[in-house]
Structure 1
Amino acid sequence: MSHIDLESAPADRPPSLLRSVGLGYFLIAFFARVPFAMMVVGVLTIVATARGSISAAGMSSAAVGVGTACFGALLGAAADRFGQRPVLIVVATANALLMVAFAAVVYSDAPDLAMYAVAFTVGATAPQVAPMSRARLVGMIDRITRPERRPRIVSSTMAYESAADETVFVLGPFVVGILAAGLAPWAPLVGAAVLTMAFVVAFALHPTARRARNTGHDSQLASPIRELFRARVLVIVIGIFGVGLFFGNTLTSLTSFMADRGAAESAGVMYGVMGIGSAIFALGVSILPARFTPRARWVVFAAVMLLGSTLVATADSIVTMVVALGLVGIGIGPTIVTQYSFGAAASPVGRSTTVMTMLGSGVIVGQSFGSALTGQIAETLGTPAALLLPALAAAVVLGSGIVNARLYRPVLR
């Protein structure tokens, strides 16, 4: 396990980190995440529109998630071994071409099975920008800061990264909706391909990629693969899978909720209520008192998620739903920050990018599975049944937080 002690008090990220990586890095890393956030929703949108089948759309988005689950962590391991730059350039090029190919297959006479196969490859080649950015920044913090300051800086950096993710996961579906409605159903995937070639490649070529290559990639220094399957790592992966599941369940059930009221196109705006609050409270983690430990934070804020999800399940008006989503936002942002901070602490030596990629893959896999499952339930059992699923996902997050607290009790005070 790494040396990071999560129980130290958080603080704002110092200027030295900004000077070390440059403001341009944060802008590039932010926009390079957008295609990843557009991918699942873009696939869902084009299939549902072009082939007129919600079931096929759900299966396609699930295939994207399966592809990410199978290869996301392997891409992280390759980056730990060979460096982020060559891995990102290869997968960015492949992913951009495959998104365009998927759009072509959807509009062709190819059978659904072929469409699912291409969707799988889209997920398999998805550039893991967010986890690789976290790994770069944690490595930079290790080099430029004194040991006693590292825990607080890592906590603040994870808060920023999580807020960026929250913003992107709200922005992504919104951009998909605008492009699909304003141009054509294929436009979101083509747009994502263009953004991938522009910003993911720029992220790969940024000087911080070379520095990441020089940190912990040497296979002779890296911990054995089996260290990735320790309970302390797996419980974090399960917890963040629950967050992704929650995203998928919430967006899809909210779409059904608004469709029942004749305003399905407004679901993204409603979803943004949760995302904006989540981003704000994620940044607020840096000012929480030291006595409010990360073990407790995960449990408490996951409980807030569960409470808000209960209100979502019982909402009978748009006003009630807005209040419920606002409450959920209070809980979900700090929960994600805490999970990634534990991920940084639990990363075996030389495997930080792999662990961060496992966590990033957990989000997209959970979102894909949640969207597909909730869509099927909404179509067969109705909106009230679909609105129950976010609470189940929140229960997964809370349960894993409780297990995590017990696992870390002997180590973290």
Structure 2
Amino acid sequence: MPVLAGFRAVFALAGPALPAVSFLARLPAAICPTATLLMLTRLDGIGRAGVTAGTLLAGQALSGPLLGRLADRRGHRPVVLAASLANAAAITFLLTAVLNDWSAVTAAVAAAGVGLTVPQIGPLSRSRWISLIDGLPAGPAVKREELTLRALSFDTTVDEISFIAGPALAGMAVVAIHPVAPMVFAGTLIAVFGVLFALHPTAPPGRRPARRSGGPLLSPALVILLLMALLQGMIWGSANAGVSALADHLGDAGAAGFIWGAMAVTSALAGIAITVRTAGTTLTTRLRLAIAAQTILLCPLPAVEGFAGVTVVIAAIGLAVAPHLIAVFSLAERVAPPHRMSETMALLVSALIGGQGMAAVAAGQLAQRSGFRSAFLLTCGCGAAALLVALVFVRRTVFTPAVERATAT
């Protein structure tokens, strides 16, 4: 198959406008945590900045599943439209609180409001691709599964690119323009492109569940996937804290963002490779192989010394990240009830964010007391735990498609 055939197959579902709009609409979620941290660090010190950025991430993790559930029941259009406008208003309120030097509590509450109103463009974009594929004429199951894998691979790649561009844009805007500039940019983006994403013709309507709709959302299979997502977030959070501590130890704290960006670049490349060419292995095998590769690639982290070494190791780890996440989201598509797909995708993203936040706090404390290597040791421990979960619990028979489970009952 030609290299571009995988992208053409995905674009044929909705046209090129949807990927462009969804990328620009999800960019504020990548900008805001870093922009909040940098803005308040410049204007008011690292202590207040860390607390305020933390409340933003906590709000985002808590509200994600609720917004996903509302989108499933009420439709994407009203939920994303309301959340996008509310998010733009919350960003404006946070900027007002910071510029007027209001209390730290007020700023933290405002940041929590920003997190709580994040429109969950990434999870809803994934569920939208699935809805588009479900609406295609009936055909061979293998083709549908292959197209789903391509679409989710592409969307994961868009996510990775947004998490490269978001923090980079935030850092450049703070230095070149003003500490509040990236937040103003984020608010403008979500007010414009969040609305466009909501109003795009592909927005699925709400679907109320049938009386017998295949059982509860949290099946054993989905619990396993949520645990895998939580541990992946913990790997990110602890590794990021370790990279920041190492950069500070080497006397150039600002280099941490560029080092961490190496993972996003290689992860995006791996996602593109999966989009254009799908392998013949099962999703469960791919998940186990990806997490095994990632765990092995984590091992050199505690031994790194300088910028070059840590950048190479972080870049290598990225090669396994996208394949792992693509397998997790693709398996979730198979086991989740179709009428709760947005909620499922949002739950997985909340698990990623929650794990990242918890591990960042723990690794930061370890690095402060015992140096950056202790943070990297926590990263390796999280990787080993993820591998154990994958080897013990990730089995093909566990991940029976939701439709088949409903038929069997």
Q: Normalized against structure 2, the TM-score is what? A: 0.89
Indicate the larger mover: 74-83 or 358-367.
Answer: 358-367
Answer yes or no: is 1:47 the counterpart of 2:40. yes
Q: Structure 1: how far apart are the matches of 2:259 and 2:378? A: 17
| Of 50, 58, 63, the match for 1:58 | 50
Q: Residues 65 and 366 of structure 1 are in contact (CA less than 8 Å); yes or no, is this contact kept in structure 2?
A: no
Give the Å deviation of 1:166.
1.1
Specify the alignment match of 2:405 in structure 1. none
Give the Å deviation of 1:389.
3.1
Give the Å deviation of 1:245.
2.6
Give the Å deviation of 1:200.
1.1
Aligned partner of residue 263 in structure 1, secondary structure: coil
Q: Residues 162 and 333 of structure 1 are in contact (CA less than 8 Å); yes or no, is this contact kept in structure 2?
A: yes
Q: Within 5 A, what are the aligned runs for 1:98-137?
A: 98-137=90-129
Give the Å deviation of 1:78.
0.4
Q: Residues 59 and 372 of structure 1 are in contact (CA less than 8 Å); yes or no, is this contact kept in structure 2?
A: no
Q: Structure 2: how far apart are the matches of 1:306 and 1:58? A: 29
Q: Structure 1: how far apart are the matches of 2:221 and 2:156? A: 20
Deviations 1:379-400, CA, capped at 9 Å, x for gaps: 3433222232332332343234
Q: Structure 2: how far apart are the matches of 1:18 and 1:349? A: 22
What amino acid sits opposite 1:304 in the alignment?
Answer: A
Answer yes or no: is 1:157 the counterpart of 2:147. no
Specify the alignment match of 2:163 in structure 1. 169
Answer yes or no: is 1:29 the counterpart of 2:19. no
Give the Å deviation of 1:263.
2.2
Q: Within 5 A, what are the aligned runs for 1:2-21?
A: 13=6, 15=8, 17-21=10-14
Specify the alignment match of 1:183 in structure 2. 177
Answer yes or no: is 1:250 the counterpart of 2:239. yes
| Of 182, 185, 206, the match for 2:200 | 206
Specify the alignment match of 2:216 in structure 1. 227
Give the Å deviation of 1:87.
0.5
Cα distance change of structure 1 residues 127 and 397 upon mapping to structure 2, 3 Å threshold: farther
Q: Structure 2: how far apart are the matches of 1:263 and 1:294? A: 41
Cα distance change of structure 1 residues 279 and 330 upon mapping to structure 2, 3 Å threshold: same
Give the Å deviation of 1:109.
4.4
| Of 316, 322, 334, the match for 2:323 | 334
| Of 272, 281, 285, the match for 2:274 | 285
Give the Å deviation of 1:409.
4.7
Q: Structure 2: how far apart are the matches of 1:410 and 1:379? A: 41
Q: Structure 1: how far apart are the matches of 2:319 and 2:365? A: 28
Cα distance change of structure 1 residues 194 and 400 upon mapping to structure 2, 3 Å threshold: farther
Q: Structure 1: how far apart are the matches of 2:167 and 2:300? A: 23
Q: Residues 235 and 403 of structure 1 are in contact (CA less than 8 Å); yes or no, is this contact kept in structure 2?
A: no
Q: Residues 141 and 150 of structure 1 are in contact (CA less than 8 Å); yes or no, is this contact kept in structure 2?
A: yes
Specify the alignment match of 1:405 in structure 2. 394
Deviations 1:5-25, CA, capped at 9 Å, x for gaps: xxxxxx964746523411111
Gaps of 5+ in 2: 402-409
Deviations 1:247-291, CA, capped at 9 Å, x for gaps: 33233321221222222222222222211111111232353532x
Q: Residues 21 and 193 of structure 2 are in contact (CA less than 8 Å); yes or no, is this contact kept in structure 1?
A: yes
Q: Structure 2: how far apart are the matches of 1:19 and 1:316? A: 47
Give the Å deviation of 1:373.
3.5
What amino acid sits opposite 2:159 in the alignment?
Answer: D
Give the Å deviation of 1:407.
7.1
Give the Å deviation of 1:408.
3.7
RMSD: 2.4
Q: Residues 223 and 351 of structure 1 are in contact (CA less than 8 Å); yes or no, is this contact kept in structure 2?
A: no
The total of aligned residue pairs comes to: 395
Cα distance change of structure 1 residues 92 and 403 upon mapping to structure 2, 3 Å threshold: farther
Specify the alignment match of 2:312 in structure 1. 323
Give the Å deviation of 1:171.
1.4
Higher RCO, 1 or 2 (CA under 8 Å, sep at least 6)?
1
Deviations 1:355-377, CA, capped at 9 Å, x for gaps: 01112222233333333443343
Q: Normalized against structure 1, the TM-score is what? A: 0.88
What amino acid sits opposite 1:402 in the alignment?
Answer: L
Identity %: 26
Cα distance change of structure 1 residues 196 and 282 upon mapping to structure 2, 3 Å threshold: same
Gaps of 5+ in 1: 1-10
